[in-house]
Structure 1
């Protein structure tokens, strides 16, 4: 990989690390950003070992604070969603995957910028098991094709108003489980090549440092403005991916 690849890979990994360090949701930008230089499937494959390392640290830190009910409802659907994501990645062209990743980025960014800001109130919603399974399915699917499983997961979990540590712990255990399951289909896709694993290894120090940076900065900077900038960037990157892949996809 040349310098142009690392010019997008390093910022992507920094954003991913800061997401694990406390800026929840930013990690959804990592794959779309890297997909500007390589195929979305390869970008996700490079990031997956990094995610597994970060997940291990996070789960160990919050191993006593997670909600078993939410995991029991969400994970079965998530595993099915991973399987569906694998079928899409195995059968659809790189342009098709790029279009999907771009579209997910646009929808996620718009949802965070517009829909969530229109919500108000502190009412705690009772969990619906069918909705939870569907949200798990959507989370597993979008996580498989772009490490972007946050929105469906949040639709089910956030309205429950879990205590902070319980929410963080449940989120970490959920995505750590999903990421471990994703290792199998990425092997099946032939994406764990020596080149991809070498790239992952070179980027892990950046991921560790950026996770530490996220922990330090999350309490010191105006997070609302920071998030707004990131979500605008996410929409812009998504639009570029859609624009880039649509002509070949629909020709």
Structure 2
């Protein structure tokens, strides 16, 4: 018998190729028009490897990096039309880009967080009050669906989950957006990857993204360093710890 020496096909490769067909953009803008305000979409462990029109600032913390993108300033004085920012915690480096992010340029990077800048209604940003929306590409949350609706864009799906004026009969904690579907393409959940981490799974057959709005409800992940050099992560809600995630060595 002959055995093939060809490496098995990674099931994620085919779906990533499909992602290139669809518009993954969140309509990123450097400057919001009148009646709009800035909201950031964060992807943890992701960086943009192929961006252009970049400006990197060193010896800066993550909050100041994001603020630089909000204010369109690289450093204190250099004007810069920022549409995305990435922060490398290991090198304390902030890289701002004036190019809209492209899905095919994004790669995994353990010490980096990637921020996409979008403009939305003030009602949305006031609900989140400085928090960010968490994006996880090709992830789905199972067992927590409360509603499935038809929307015209991924941004509208996020807004429907956040917007208190929608008057949903439940607290929407996260949304899934299915790019290939024309109807019922937005799934609204009453739980999230933070509150139900064991319900989050990879999706390898259809093009979908997960968006968590925990920070709009006052739930934030905090990080602190233990005395043995590990980074501990805890999810806190209104001052009380919901659960601690596993420790991992610092990079």
Normalising by the smaller structure, the TM-score range is: under 0.3
RCO comparison, higher one (Cα < 8 Å, 6+): 1
Q: TM-score under structure 2 normalisation?
A: 0.24
Q: Which has the larger radius of gyration?
A: 2
Q: TM-score under structure 1 normalisation?
A: 0.24
Q: Which has the higher helix share?
A: 1
